[in-house]
Amino acid sequence: MRDRDELSAEPEFPGQVRDTVAQSTPWWPSPPRSSGPNVLVILLDDVGFAQLGCYGASVGTPNIDALARDGLRYTNFHVPALCSPTRASLLTGRNHHSVGMGFLGAFDTGYPSYRAAISPAAATLPEMLRAGGYGSYATGKWHLTPPAGMSPAGPFDQWPTQRGFDRYYGFLWGEDDQYRPELWYDQHRVEVPDDPDYHLSRDVVDRTAEFIADHVTNRPDDPFLAYVAFAACHAPHQAPREYLDRYVGRFDHGWDEERERVLARQIELGVVPPGTQLSPRDPEVPAWDTLEPDERRLYARLQEAFAGFMEHTDAQVGRLVEFLRTHRLLDDTVILLLSDNGASGEGGRDGTINEYRYFLGLEDSIDDALAQIDDIGGPQAHNQYPAGWALAGNTPLQYYKRFTHGGGVRAPLIVHWPSGTGDRPGTRPQFHHAIDVLPTILELAGVEAPRTHRGVDQLPVHGTSMRYSFADAGAPPARTRQYFETAGNRAIVDGPWKAVAAHRPGTAFDADRWELYDIARDVAEANDLSAEEPERLQQLQNAWWEEARRYGVLPLDDRMGDRVRALDPAMDRRRYVMLPGSRMLNHVVGPSFSERGFRVTAEIHCLPGDEGVILAYGRRAFGFSFFVQEGRLRVDYNLAGRHTELTAAAPLPDRRVSVSMRVAPAASGATIALDVDDERVAEAPVERLIPGGIGTLSIQCGHNAPSAVSAAYEAPFTFTGAMDRVVVELDERRLPSASSQTETELAFQ
């Protein structure tokens, strides 16, 4: 029952209440209504400026190209250089530092701009559209919930369903396995559908169509917002075999020639002006003609996997568009398709069969990848292409995701709205940014951004509507200035000029070298004018500091892997108790096994035939599993595909016993030991302690899902014996090894 104060706060009743119904006058509130269009936002992941066919790519994207052909294709659209900041800007219309998402949605480092959560002072797009009667639905990648709030028990205040979306289906972290993702439906976990042809991108579209169908059936007079955030084309690059096979041999010419081919198509398509030069090749990327034959074979196969993944994603976009067309929704649905940042150079020089090796600073080798070359793109690999292909994917721009050069921040944007853009399709050259998407949608919906929301004064929206450009390709841009900052990389655009500085983590910010480009004439940022225009460069640097102070960028923070060691002090907890069937989603909510010894203990009773997982950390690509199989205690210690397996010599006795798995540091590497009732039953050396930094992997008690850490069993391999709890005890954290500088560099993206 509500209390008296709450009742008194209700709005005044406009009808009349008398002694009887016959004497009284009823009244019903009018629901909010909007005459605005339906809105479909399709957000691609790590898709570079040149990785769609309509922007010059060699990859087939006919469905996306059709949206561009019949709609608007922006050629000067920009985003923050990482996924979480772009998502925060897109959904709030504010600069990402201002709303607490200065870096990834994984690291709360204790400063207002780096909370890894969207501030309550920044209402989101779906929260705003409710005032216009919109229903709102999100599918796919979220990556806007801080780790401390990411558990099956909440708190849920930063989950999609409590930031304005009525329904949600997808995954919470920054990447996932396309075949065995960790899925959430609203606020509860669900298993991957039992389908031999399962793929996450297809599942996301199926669920989006279901949400829209429910909406138009039950609320036919209300418009909808559908936010579809694909995991594609973030690594791992995985797609059905038929899509991978389409690209066999089609990239054997290499990334240098590919850049030339793409640039020629971009000029022909009007994506870049005639005379555009390629930016210099990243010095860390070798020339293709200097590579060994085995290197070329491997690198080409890794790019084939990306291309197949991209075309498969396009097919899913096509399925969603066809759904709208079939149900007569397409003409009055404004579709905005964009990417969250440039193509990713995380694969480094060689790419990898398992990108967790990169994240963790583990040794990788071309020989390992060649031995598994036929697995690339399939469910057994977690592959990422070399940076050379990312450079080609960002043609003609410099660098990649994370950098504030063009390769990190210039992105494709397509707007398709038959009833709103009519017969005026084509390219649009106006400068715009992710913060401009929200005010554009609000203008179309006829909804104003609130001054207060849930009792909190709201930050002003920083973006500007792009609606003016729909009808006039030659209209002057409505905004001309925008700052950029990601992990110390900095840039500012002011009119035709751009100043940019790439920062090396651990070096002094004052030592950064600033470059100057006239991006109106030099789209690729190929000709540095800093020596010719030192005064202009200084003015832009001063302007960057003004914007940084205005929008809460400071303090500058160039930490990458070290950010994980600056997280919530809850990580210092040393003892955890888990119940069978439960899971902890990350190393802030649950135990952090990185760079330390630990012990896992349980009391169990196994009858003949009982088996299953006692405790597992991770999934197929990386982790460990402590389990019982064929009556014996076992462990599989999986260092990103390099397995150490240990099995007790004798079966477990037919009684209640205490079992434990112990990982301990050693003079060289580490050791794993298995004990039964404090008696050592097996022991083996391993290469090293679990490296630091992977926070995207869950800890599962009594099962191992969504995929199996060990090839010895199939997921979920639920424990069938008697077990009431599992205790995890952690040693003091050790200093990380020198090789772990990149361990979390991009692990959460």
**Cis before 606? omega within 30:** no
What tens digit of pLDDT does each residue of 27-83 get?
999 888 888 999 999 999 999 999 999 999 999 999 999 999 999 999 999 999 999
Longest dimension (CA), the chain: 93
Mean pLDDT of 354-365: 85
Q: What is the mean pLDDT of the chain?
A: 93
Mean pLDDT of 277-299: 97
Tell me if 658 is assigned to some domain: yes
Is there a single domain that holds both residue 494 and residue 596?
Answer: no
Is there a single domain that holds both residue 347 and residue 385?
Answer: yes
Q: What pLDDT sits at residue 377?
A: 98
Is there a single domain that holds both residue 441 and residue 372?
Answer: yes
* 586 vs 352: which has the higher pLDDT: 352
pLDDT score of 504 more than 70 = yes
Smallest CA-to-CA distance from 313 within 208, 202, 398, 410 is with: 202
Q: Which residues contact 722 (CB under 8 A, 6 or more apart)?
A: 604, 605, 606, 656
- Band (pLDDT 50/70/90 cuts) for residue 15 is very high
Q: How many residues does the chain have?
A: 749
Mean pLDDT of 16-29: 95
Tell me if 20 is assigned to some domain: no
How far is residue 505's CA from residue 527's CA, in Å, rounded to a whole number? Answer: 25
Tell me if 14 is assigned to some domain: no
pLDDT score of 450 more than 80 = yes
Is there a single domain that holds both residue 507 and residue 444?
Answer: no
- Band (pLDDT 50/70/90 cuts) for residue 567 is low
Query: In the listed set 510, 536, 558, which residue is the last one of a domain according to the structure?
Result: 558
Return the H-helix or E-strand segment holding 617.
strand 612-619
Phi and psi of 43, rounded to 5°? -110, 115
How far is residue 188's CA from residue 171's CA, in Å, rounded to a whole number? Answer: 11
Mean pLDDT of 196-220: 97
Query: In the listed set 537, 558, 579, which residue is the last one of a domain according to the structure?
Result: 558
Is there a single domain that holds both residue 710 and residue 736?
Answer: yes
* 339 vs 668: which has the higher pLDDT: 339
Is there a single domain that holds both residue 308 and residue 238?
Answer: yes
Tell me if 26 is assigned to some domain: no
- DSSP secondary structure string, 132-178? GT-EEEEEEE---S-GGG-STT---TTSGGGTT-SEEEEESSS---S
Provide the β-strand partners of residue 673. 662, 683
How far is residue 346's CA from residue 302's CA, in Å, rounded to a whole number? Answer: 13
CATH number at residue 190: 3.40.720.10
pLDDT score of 152 more than 60 = yes
Is there a single domain that holds both residue 57 and residue 127?
Answer: yes
pLDDT score of 8 more than 50 = no
Q: How many CA atoms lie within 13 A of 566 on its CB side?
A: 17
- DSSP secondary structure string, 391-403? HHHTTTS-S-TTS
Query: In the listed set 525, 558, 591, which residue is the last one of a domain according to the structure?
Result: 558
- Helices 83-92 & 437-445, crossing angle to 10 degrees? 30
From the list 54, 78, 83, 462, the catalytic residue is 83
Question: Percent of the chain, pLDDT > 70?
Answer: 94
Tell me if 235 is assigned to some domain: yes
Q: What pLDDT sits at residue 296?
A: 98
What tens digit of pLDDT does each residue of 368-401 get?
899 999 999 999 999 999 999 999 999 999 999 9
CATH number at residue 594: 2.60.120.200
What tens digit of pLDDT does each residue of 229-248 get?
999 999 999 999 999 999 99
Q: Which residues contact 177 (CB under 8 A, 6 or more apart)?
A: 200, 236, 238, 379, 382, 619, 620, 621, 706, 707
Is there a single domain that holds both residue 162 and residue 185?
Answer: yes
Q: Which residues contact 182 (CB under 8 A, 6 or more apart)?
A: 171, 172, 173, 176, 189, 698, 706
Q: Which residues contact 43 (CB under 8 A, 6 or more apart)?
A: 87, 90, 140, 141, 227, 228, 229, 230, 338, 339, 340
What tens digit of pLDDT does each residue of 592-650 get?
898 899 999 999 999 999 999 999 999 999 999 999 999 999 999 999 999 999 999 99
Q: What pLDDT sits at residue 571?
A: 60
Helix, strand, coil percentages, rounded to 5, for the chain: 25, 20, 50
Is there a single domain that holds both residue 522 and residue 398?
Answer: no
Tell me if 184 is assigned to some domain: yes
- DSSP secondary structure string, 453-493? ETTEEPPPP-----HHHHS-TTPPPS--EEEEEETTEEEEE
How far is residue 584's CA from residue 574's CA, in Å, rounded to a whole number? Answer: 15
Q: Dihedral through CA 566, CA 572, CA 573, CA 576, nearest 10? A: 70
Is there a single domain that holds both residue 279 and residue 407?
Answer: yes
Is there a single domain that holds both residue 599 and residue 723?
Answer: yes
Q: What pLDDT sits at residue 695?
A: 66
Provide the β-strand partners of residue 190. 183
- DSSP secondary structure string, 531-549? TT-HHHHHHHHHHHHHHHH
Q: Dihedral through CA 394, CA 399, CA 403, CA 405, nearest 10? A: -80
How far is residue 302's CA from residue 553's CA, in Å, rounded to a whole number? Answer: 37
From the list 78, 96, 97, 143, the catalytic residue is 143
Predicted TM-score of the model (pTM): 0.95
Tell me if 748 is assigned to some domain: no
How far is residue 62's CA from residue 520's CA, in Å, rounded to a whole number? Answer: 29
pLDDT score of 162 more than 80 = yes
Return the H-helix or E-strand segment holding 296.
helix 293-326
Q: Which residues contact 510 (CB under 8 A, 6 or more apart)?
A: none
Q: How many domains does the chain have?
A: 3
What tens digit of pLDDT does each residue of 639-650 get?
999 999 999 999
Segments forming the whole domain that contains residue 508? 482-558
Is there a single domain that holds both residue 133 and residue 166?
Answer: yes
- DSSP secondary structure string, 63-119? HHHHHHHTSEEESSEE--SSHHHHHHHHHHSS-TTTTTBSS-TT---SSTTB-SS--
Provide the β-strand partners of residue 646. 635
Q: Which residues contact 18 (CB under 8 A, 6 or more apart)?
A: 24
Tell me if 314 is assigned to some domain: yes
Going by the DSSP 8-state scheme, the letter that residue 426 receives in this structure is E
Alpha-carbon torsion 297, 299, 304, 309, what sign?
positive
* 83 in active site: yes
pLDDT score of 585 more than 50 = yes
Question: Percent of the chain, pLDDT > 90?
Answer: 85
How far is residue 310's CA from residue 302's CA, in Å, rounded to a whole number? Answer: 13
Weakest-pLDDT range from 52-56, 128-132, 557-561, 642-646: 557-561
* 503 in active site: no
